[in-house]
Structure 1
Amino acid sequence: MTSTHLPLRPLGQRALLLTTAALPLTGWTVHAVVLHKRLAATRVDPLTGLLRRDAYTARALRVLRRHGDGTAVVLVDVDHFKSVNDNFGHAAGDAVLAAFGARLSAWAGPHASAGRLGGDEFAVVLPLAAARREERLGQLMRMLCTPVRLEDGRTVLVGASVGAATPDAVGTRDLSALQRAADAAMYDGKHSGRVCLATLAHAAAPSVNGRRAGRPGTHQWGRAA
C-alpha cells in the first residue's frame, strides 16, 4: 500500500509552529509555579499559616507606611504554654499554636501583617482606628481565650497575654520601637486577661534586641519558628 503525504495547509503549519513553541513555554511555566510554591513555603510558618519573620517585617513596614498613626502593633504570647505541652503532650501544644494562628489571621483580616516570631510568640500589625481600638482588642482577647478542642475530644483551656502599641501613643512610627513598647506593655499585663496598651513609659523601657530587658530569649527576637 502506498502512503500519500498531503502537504500541510497554511493553518496547519501555524498550528504546528504554535504547538512546538508552546512546549518549552509550558515547561518554564511549571518550573515557575514550583519555584513560587517553594518561595511561598519559606515565607509562611507551616504550623500556624502565619508569616515568618522576614515576610512579616516587610509587610508590617508597608502597613505602617500606608496607615501611619492609624496602625496598631500587637504582640501575643500563649499563657502557660509549657504546661499545655507537659499536661497534654506536644501534639496538643501544636494544636494550640495552630488555633492561635487561625484566630489571629481571622481577627487581623487581609490587610494586616500577622507573623509567628518564634515558639508561642506572635505579632500583628494592622490598620486600627483609635475609635475602634478598645472594641477590636477586646474582641481579640476573647477569641484567643476560647478553649481549643483537640482531635481526640479533649479540651484545652488557653489564655493569652497581649500588648499593643500605636504611633500616636508611643510617639513614633518606627516598627522596632513599636514592637519594643508592645512587648513591654504585654509583660505589664501578663496573665491579667486584658490587653495592655503601651505608653511613652513602655517605649522607654530597657530593651535588648527589641525586647524587654530580662525577657527570656532576648538574643533571638523575631526569629521565626
Structure 2
Amino acid sequence: MASTVRVQAPIGQRALFITTLAVPLTGWTVHAVSLHRKLAAARKDPLTGLLGRDGYTAKARQITDRYGDAAVVVLVDLDHFKQINDGPGGHAAGDRVLAATAARLTAWAGSRGAVGRLGGDEFAVAVRIGRARRALRLAQLAQLLAQPVEVEDGVLVDVAASVGAACSDVLGTTDLSVLQRAADAAMYAGKHTGRAVLADRSHAVVPSINGRRAGRSGTSTLGRAA
C-alpha cells in the first residue's frame, strides 16, 4: 500500500522519495569502492609475501612524497629465469628463486622501504637513500641478488638480475610514474651486465615499445655482481 501511494504521488514528491533512497545507496557504493581499494592495497603476493602492484604503488608514492630528493626507485628483473623454470628443479626451483629474491630485496630496503612484486620475475623497490651512500647501496644490491639460491637438497642455482634505479634529485621530480619509467629504461640499458644502472634525465624520455626498449647512451653503471 505504501509503495502504491508513493508511486501515485506528484512528480516532485516521487523525485524526493527516489533521491532519499539514492543517498544511502550512493554512500554505500562509495564505501564499497573505498574498501575495495584498501583491500587491493593491502593484498600481498601469496608466493613471496611482497606487496602487489596496487599496494606497492600506494606505499611507494608515500615514500617519494615524504623523502623528496632522497627517494630512490629501483626496478629488478631476473635474468634467464625461464631457464630455471625449465631446468631440473622445474617451477619449484623457480618459486624458490622468486622467494629468495623477495627476501633479499626486503632485507636491503629495510622496514621503511616499499617492496613489491609487479608480476612474474619483476620487482620494484622504493626507498630513501642519501646521495653520499647511493652508489655503494646499489652496488651492494647487485651483488646480493647475484648470490646463488639453494633450491632443494643443497642444490644451488645460479641467479642474475638486471637492476635499474632512478633518483628524484637526478630527474628533478618525485612523480612515481616518471621515476619508474626511467628506472625501467636504465634497467634495460644495462641488461645482463650484472650492474645496477642509475638513470639520468635521458632515460625518462627514452622511446619505448610496450615500455621495454631502452638505449644505452648516458648510462651510469654502479657496482658489479660477484
Q: CA deviation at 1:167?
A: 1.2
Q: Percent identity?
A: 62
Q: CA deviation at 1:152?
A: 2.2
Q: How many angstroms apart in 2 are the aligned matches of 1:171 and 1:139?
A: 25
Contact kept, 8 Å, 2:41 with 2:54, in 1: the verdict is no
Q: CA deviation at 1:201?
A: 0.9
Contact kept, 8 Å, 1:180 with 1:207, in 2: the verdict is no
1:44 counterpart SS class? coil
Aligned to 1:7: none
Tell whether 2:182 aligns with 1:181: yes
4+ runs deviating over 4 angstroms: 39-42
Q: How many angstroms apart in 1 are the aligned matches of 2:65 and 2:150?
A: 38
Counterparts of residues 69-80 of structure 1 (less than 5 Å): 69-80=69-80
Contact kept, 8 Å, 2:100 with 2:149, in 1: the verdict is yes
Unaligned stretches of 5+ residues in structure 2? 1-38, 215-226
Q: Quick one: structure 1 residues 94 and 41, their matched pair in 2 at CA, closer, same or farther if it must change by over 3 Å?
A: farther
Q: How many angstroms apart in 1 are the aligned matches of 2:212 and 2:152?
A: 36
Contact kept, 8 Å, 2:147 with 2:159, in 1: the verdict is yes
Counterparts of residues 115-194 of structure 1 (less than 5 Å): 115-194=116-195
Matched AA of 1:74: V
Q: How many angstroms apart in 1 are the aligned matches of 2:137 and 2:99?
A: 21
Q: Once superposed, what is the RMSD of the aligned Cα atoms?
A: 2.0
Q: CA deviation at 1:50?
A: 0.8
Matched AA of 1:192: T
Q: Quick one: structure 1 residues 92 and 138, their matched pair in 2 at CA, closer, same or farther if it must change by over 3 Å?
A: same
- For this pair of structures, how many residues does the alignment match? 177
Q: How many angstroms apart in 1 are the aligned matches of 2:60 and 2:174?
A: 11
2:153 counterpart SS class? coil
Q: How many angstroms apart in 1 are the aligned matches of 2:52 and 2:95?
A: 16
TM-score (ref. length: structure 2)? 0.74
Q: Quick one: structure 1 residues 213 and 109, their matched pair in 2 at CA, closer, same or farther if it must change by over 3 Å?
A: same
Unaligned stretches of 5+ residues in structure 1? 1-38, 215-225
2:152 counterpart SS class? coil
Contact kept, 8 Å, 1:205 with 1:212, in 2: the verdict is no
1:212 counterpart SS class? coil
Counterparts of residues 104-115 of structure 1 (less than 5 Å): 104-115=105-116
Q: CA deviation at 1:40?
A: 8.6
Matched AA of 2:176: L
Contact kept, 8 Å, 2:42 with 2:51, in 1: the verdict is no
Larger Rg: 1
Deviations 1:138-191 (A, max 9, x none): 111111111001132211000000000001112221100100000000001001
Q: How many angstroms apart in 2 are the aligned matches of 1:156 and 1:123?
A: 22
Contact kept, 8 Å, 1:78 with 1:159, in 2: the verdict is yes
